Amino acid sequence: MDQYNWATIPSEELNEKTVRQVVHTERLTIARLLLRAGAVVGMHHHENEQVTMMKSGKLRFVFGGTEAGREIVVQGGDVLQIPPNVPHMVEALEDSIATDVFSPPREDWIRGDDAYLRNPR
């Protein structure tokens, strides 16, 4: 068993509006994200199931693919589940803190293949 504390996990500034902390386990990736108002995570998709748990703030998710045109706004206390391979983008409507859980682990993040987060669109 491993124990983690967000206060000891390094923060990574992905761009001027997005900061990430990450824990990778054998079967999950857990990330705490600070998205400042106006932050945008461009349209992307991944093989991972994603669960976003909102601590504070407000995020707008826009879906593409077969879910095209669907929008969901989440705020503090909300939990959103996104199935694998569903294209989505995110816009921070307010300064927000979210915890994302991914299964299986985000191999793209482990490899450093996360340019869509580092270059806001």
What residue ranges do the domains of the chain occupy? Answer: 17-116
SS3 content of the chain, % helix, strand, coil (to 5): 10, 50, 40
**Mean pLDDT in order along the chain per 10 residues (121 residues):** 96 96 97 97 95 98 85 98 96 98 96 82 58
User: What digits encode the pLDDT tens for the residues 65-97?
Assistant: 777 789 999 999 999 999 999 999 999 999 999
Check if CATH label 2.60.120.10 holds for domain 17-116.
Answer: yes
- Total-model pTM: 0.93
Query: What is the reported pLDDT for 94?
Result: 98
